[in-house]
Amino acid sequence: MIIKQDTELKRTAVTMEGAASVTMGIPIGEDDGSQNMIMRLFRIAPGGHTPYHTHDYEHLVRVVSGRGAVLDAQGVSHELSLGQSVFVCSNEKHQFLNPYTEAFEFTCTILNPNRG
């Protein structure tokens, strides 16, 4: 069993093209012994966003703090706040944004791409 507090996490800048003011930490990953799934913690600073992109894996997203928005494949923006979960299908275009004045944090769990 591994128990981690967010404040212990090493956070690295997301440098993918189309990302702005986003960092990522890994509350639960391969280094913790997780074989099948990885939980990432994203923080988007005010004015920042992830890329508006697609990929072939599903996202299980959970708002952790602050407020933000998600842009769907039709370009419609949906406000996000505490108590909300977002499921993004594989190959569905999406973008997370923070148009607000405080940091927006969410966890995003994916299948471990290296699983056996």
Footprint of its own copies on this chain (CB under 8 A)? 1-7, 27-28, 32-37, 39, 58, 60, 62, 64, 70, 72-73, 78, 80, 83-90, 92, 94, 107, 109, 111
Q: Which residues contact 111 (CB under 8 A, 6 or more apart)?
A: 36, 37, 38, 57, 58
Task: Considering the complex, state which of residue 45 and residue 58 has its C-beta at the smaller distance from its own copies.
Answer: 58
Task: Considering the complex, state which of residue 49 and residue 94 has its C-beta at the smaller distance from its own copies.
Answer: 94
H/E stretch holding 16 reads: none
Backbone φ and ψ for 66, nearest 5 degrees, come out as 75, -165
The minimum distance between CB 62 and its own copies, in angstroms, equals 6
